[in-house]
Structure 1
Amino acid sequence: MSPPSRPTGESLPRAMVIDRAWRGLGPGLESLSGPGGAPLTRTVKLIVLPLIVRPALSPELAVDFLGPAQAAHLDALIRESGPRLEATAQWFTLLKRARRALGVVAGNPQDLYFQRCFELATEHGAPSDGADALARSVVEDVADAVGGRTVDVLKEHLADASRRARLDGELATGWESRRPAPADGTAAAVALAAEVLDACGAPGGAGNPAAYVSMVEAGYGDLLGRALWAHPSGVWGRDDLPAHLGLTERQVPPRPEVGRGASTATLPAPLDRTLFERLFVVLQSSARREELATVPELVGREVGRSCAPLGLYDESLRVAVVLGGRLAVGLDPLGTGESAPGRTTAHRAVNSRWRREASALRARRMTVSPRPDPDGGVLEALAQDLRTPWAAYMRRLWVRLHGRDVRDASLRDAASAWAVLDGVARSVMMDHRARVRSALRALSATAAEAAEPRSA
């Protein structure tokens, strides 16, 4: 399989530029790097991108592929940060040592300390006199902040029989007291969503402020959520898709349960999750858990949220579900429905980006080719994901919006909403690319092993 297609010229993947610059920094970064010398995924996610690259301030560095000037700029930013990164690695080693001495076991040290260590390196440089006491203080402060905000605490909190019975009763009451679904109105919501998307997807477009505000003020997200409780049809102008777009595996969302455990590998569809599963994802994915409420507060609010329309409290986030659904039903990475009506500028921008992916190009060839999949169906399954892209998109969108809802982070305007919608599209695309590459590596390794001559 050829490498992912890219823009013309000398463009390079941003990840490759980061990797090369990182390796050029030399020794001293072992605690922030993997066995092969590349930066850890969490290093990139928690330190390099938000604290060094800062894409929000340098939008030209926020894209997947960088031109020569942008690549040189990114390379320079990382190399200039070399001494501070080396100090960050030293602080991280020191904090881990203090953590062991204090007997702290809750939380992932990288999630908890990476950004703190970068702050320490920025303020103090490399550890020196008094660093041990400072490291101990930081570990204690983080432990105090995170205490009460871990999966273990959640499990213990929901293990109490009387508490479980009370919560189950509150869920039953909340579910029975839901407002009835409206007779109609979703068509107007979807039509206005198309207007917002048409403006958002334009180059430099900030969306249609008036249309977005109208959707929020009219409660169109609430309206869609209540409609899903009544099993509507034809909401998105396509009878072949369920109105909930995979947010539940049922015809209508079930009454939420309390739950006892969760596994990342087997999480149900978003609206089918228990209280435990909803909060498990929030606690697992939060880099700064000290910003969250404590577990009892999280559970108390989640009872009402799980019985609310679309499983969300904030109306701007519900409207983002409407916008996301309108975008999702028109995603077409294989280019098989170009003449479909109702495509917006946002659809054309996202689909164009996706169709340049080599994984999408191969999947398209597999779709139109009558020949059987030569690799036992592994890539065929990945190709199938591109035939139903709306499922992965809506699932990831809901999780991201739910995380914002827990933190009371609404989407104030159309530009903010589009940043989330487009970010989810990029995330789904990159995740699919990574899974294709992983499958190809596995298949190549199997083929190489089979081709090796066996000794007698």
Structure 2
Amino acid sequence: MTTESGGPRLRSAVLTQAWQRIDGVEILSSADGGPLTRTIKKIIDPLVIRTAARPRLGRPVLDQVAAAEVTELLLADADRLRATAAWFTHLKRRRRALRITAGNVQDVCFPLAYELATGFGTPGPDAAETAAAALRELHGESGAAGVDQLTAYLADPRRSAELTEELHHRWYAESPLPHDLSALRTFVHELSDTAWRALADSAAGHALGLGLRRPGGARSLTEAVREISGLPAPDLGLQRGERTAVPPLDRRDETGAGLLERSVERRVRATLRRLPPDERAPVADLVDDELARVAAGFGLGQPALAVCFALGVVLAPALRPLDGAAPAGVPEFARRLNAQVAREGYVLHARRALAGTTPLTPRPDAELLRDLREFAKQFLSRLWVRLHGFDVRGDLPADAADVRDLVTGVVRSTSLDLRTKVRRSLTARLPDLEAVS
């Protein structure tokens, strides 16, 4: 790999080099002087660089322009990062004094320290009291203002009936849209900025999603997927039957695992997890926002995000890592995504096992094989959750590269989750393996 100043560079090296130019952040740093892994995960990526909105800056390898942008963003935030480090020290002390043990201290306090640095700058004489108040709000009142308040809001029988009526009214008020697959087909095969601009503001995504609500909706979607990708669509976990049912208001009324039939309550709970307390609208407004989202195609309000999910639906049938390479005629991007997973060591092991050349033990291997057979379903579930988060925060992909990075990243994270399951399974089986070795 080229590591000269003008060539591509490892993102970790870019971050370390820039981080070492900021003094006063030692408590957020690792032994080599770079940022801690949790500093990257909890502060740098979501709050400084904002990789959710700029996925090209989150790639493992950065070109010269992206590396310069990452460096510039990090150094421009140096004062706030120094203040964050100082606030983290106060938060650790006050957390100990208040005997708060919930959550990992870095996971909980790194984002909170950055929030305090944004609001108050460098800690002043009253920093201890401010830190204690922030911790009490995070661990106490914010919970009551969040999930507990949502539960109480939906528990009122009259309000629940009104909201359910409103949900049904909005659901059935959405008229089916004509399917025009040409722009989606062009983007799937070209992945160009020109094709994305033609698609991003179109109703193509919403049209596919709304089509699932009509009689025979699942069959209609299967035909659309086959027309674009040349593959039949397996059970993708989107809904229980041939058409999408109206999602329930309350979580306790969910009757299956259909991705598009999740309750309004569950979706708002996800919103509450994603938004810090100071960015949350009142619970009534959050519920109303979600009612509007539920009524839209694929349950995503922004047309560009519905299109991203439609792209995932079209690509998902090609994600069959147990089958090896995708068949000829499948879009090249889908072939690359499938190959990305199929060459994983644990996938190769599973394929050898199915061929009868590797022994399997019943429980963990059966579970792994099931997960691999349902990889497309898991991928779409994770993609929808990511896009719902974008919708909540108002983030949109900027160009075709952002969309490619988004989809590739979701495939990678789905695969990494399976790899972690394999590692845990092997660890649990280690005594048995050693006994027969």
The TM-score, its normalising length taken from structure 1, stands at 0.70
Letter matched to residue 174 of structure 1: R
**Matched residue, 1:116:** 112
CA 1:121/1:97 → structure 2, altered by over 3 Å: closer, same or farther? Answer: farther
**Matched residue, 2:6:** none
CA 1:13/1:447 → structure 2, altered by over 3 Å: closer, same or farther? Answer: farther
CA 1:140/1:299 → structure 2, altered by over 3 Å: closer, same or farther? Answer: same
Per residue, is there more helix in 1 or in 2? 2
The CA deviation string for residues 345-387 of structure 1, in whole angstroms up to 9 with x for no partner, is x2243233323321121122123x1368531141232133223
Determine whether 1:399 maps to 2:401: no
User: Is the 1:359–1:433 Cα contact (8 Å) retained in structure 2?
Assistant: yes
**Matched residue, 2:259:** 270
CA 1:252/1:419 → structure 2, altered by over 3 Å: closer, same or farther? Answer: same
Letter matched to residue 226 of structure 1: L
Q: Pick one of 215, 228, 233 that aligns with 1:241.
A: 233
**Matched residue, 2:401:** 415
**Matched residue, 2:92:** 93
Aligned equivalents of 1:364, 1:167: Cα separation in 2: 49
Q: Pick one of 316, 320, 337 that aligns with 1:350.
A: 337
Aligned equivalents of 1:161, 1:380: Cα separation in 2: 45
The CA deviation string for residues 408-438 of structure 1, in whole angstroms up to 9 with x for no partner, is 3233432332232222112111111111111
CA 1:301/1:441 → structure 2, altered by over 3 Å: closer, same or farther? Answer: same
Determine whether 1:318 maps to 2:306: yes
Letter matched to residue 153 of structure 2: H
Determine whether 1:227 maps to 2:211: yes
Letter matched to residue 287 of structure 2: V
Q: Please identify, of 354-363 and 389-398, the stretch whose mean Cα deviation from structure 2 is larger.
A: 354-363
C-alpha root-mean-square deviation of aligned residues, in Å?
4.6
Deviation at 1:130, TM superposition (A): 4.1
- SS for the counterpart of 2:318 is coil
User: Is the 1:193–1:326 Cα contact (8 Å) retained in structure 2?
Assistant: no
The CA deviation string for residues 149-207 of structure 1, in whole angstroms up to 9 with x for no partner, is 5212211111111110111111122223231354xx3xx52x5434324444xxxxxx3
Q: Pick one of 136, 153, 157 that aligns with 1:157.
A: 153
The CA deviation string for residues 113-149 of structure 1, in whole angstroms up to 9 with x for no partner, is 3223257689988x78543134235447768995775
Aligned equivalents of 1:52, 1:412: Cα separation in 2: 18
**Matched residue, 1:361:** 348
Determine whether 1:255 maps to 2:246: yes
User: Is the 1:292–1:407 Cα contact (8 Å) retained in structure 2?
Assistant: no
User: Is the 2:293–2:301 Cα contact (8 Å) retained in structure 1?
Assistant: yes
User: Is the 2:56–2:405 Cα contact (8 Å) retained in structure 1?
Assistant: no
Letter matched to residue 393 of structure 1: F
Aligned equivalents of 2:433, 2:61: Cα separation in 1: 31
Contiguous gaps of at least 5 residues in structure 2: 2-8, 17-25
Determine whether 1:196 maps to 2:196: no
**Matched residue, 2:193:** 208
Letter matched to residue 258 of structure 1: L
Aligned equivalents of 1:383, 1:13: Cα separation in 2: 33
Letter matched to residue 208 of structure 1: D
CA 1:318/1:59 → structure 2, altered by over 3 Å: closer, same or farther? Answer: closer
Greater RCO structure (CA 8 Å; 6+ sep): 1
Q: Pick one of 56, 59, 62 that aligns with 2:59.
A: 62
Letter matched to residue 241 of structure 1: A
**Matched residue, 2:174:** 178
User: Is the 1:261–1:277 Cα contact (8 Å) retained in structure 2?
Assistant: no
Aligned equivalents of 1:255, 1:108: Cα separation in 2: 38
**Matched residue, 2:282:** 294
CA 1:110/1:289 → structure 2, altered by over 3 Å: closer, same or farther? Answer: farther
User: Is the 2:322–2:347 Cα contact (8 Å) retained in structure 1?
Assistant: yes
Determine whether 1:327 maps to 2:315: yes
Aligned equivalents of 2:177, 2:161: Cα separation in 1: 28
Q: Please identify, of 418-427 and 110-119, the stretch whose mean Cα deviation from structure 2 is larger.
A: 110-119
The CA deviation string for residues 240-276 of structure 1, in whole angstroms up to 9 with x for no partner, is 425x73222322211121115599xx98332111111
- SS for the counterpart of 2:422 is helix
**Matched residue, 2:20:** none
CA 1:128/1:215 → structure 2, altered by over 3 Å: closer, same or farther? Answer: closer
Aligned equivalents of 2:207, 2:54: Cα separation in 1: 36
